[in-house]
Structure 1
Amino acid sequence: SKAKCQAKAANQRRDYLHKLTTHLVKQYDVIVIEDLKTKNLQKNHHLAKSIVNASWRIFRQMLEYKCEWYGKKLIAVDPKNTSRICSKCGYNSGAKPLEIREWTCSKCQTKH
C-alpha cells in the first residue's frame, strides 16, 4: 500500500541521516552549518519539496545531540553572505545564482 511505501521511505531516510550524522560527528571535532530557517525557504516553491525531502530539521537535531554525546562542537552561522565571502581571505565575490554550489575565490584561489 501507499502508506507502507511512505513509511518505508521515511525509515530509510531516517536511517541514512543517523548514519551520516554519526559519521560526521566521529570524523570532525567542529562542525559548522548554516543556521537556515527552513520555514522561510519552503515559501520558495522551487525549493520547498527538496527542503522537506532533505529532512534538514531532523538532520540538525541529530547533529546537535550527537555532538553533545561525543563532546564535539556544532556551530550554526548566519547564512547571510556564506556563498559570497571567502572563509580564507574574506573576499566578497558577490551574488551567485542558486545553481552555483561550488566556487573558487578569485583572490586567493580557495575552492569552496
Structure 2
Amino acid sequence: MEPCWGVSKAGQNACGNISATHTCSGLSKTDYSPEDWTFVARGTCHKIGGLTREQAAAKVKAMKAAEAAKPPAVKQAAPAGKPPSGRRLLQRHPPQSSKLQLLRPNRPTPQG
C-alpha cells in the first residue's frame, strides 16, 4: 500500500491533509481534493489519476496563489424593503397592547 493524494472522496481520507486544516481521518470535506490522501495498492496511484505528495503540494500551492490573485468579491446591496442576508429584522419595540392583554385578561366591568 502507498499513499495517494487527490483520489479520496469526502470523509474517506486516511489522515491529515497538506494544509494541516485537519489532522484526522474522515474529515475531508470535498471529493478528490489534492490536499487529502488515502492508501491505495502499490503502483495504482498514477493509474487512477492520483498524485504524489510533491505533486499535490505544488497543486495546492498553485490553487492558493490563484485564489489570492482574485479580486475581492463585491457585495450586492440588499433590495429596498428586504433585510440583508435573508435574515428577518427584529422588532425593537413590539406593540404594548399585546403585552397588556396577556397581563390583564378581559374582565367584566362592574355594573354601577
TM-score range, shorter chain: under 0.3
Q: So what's the TM-score if we normalise by structure 1?
A: 0.24
Greater Rg by CA? 2
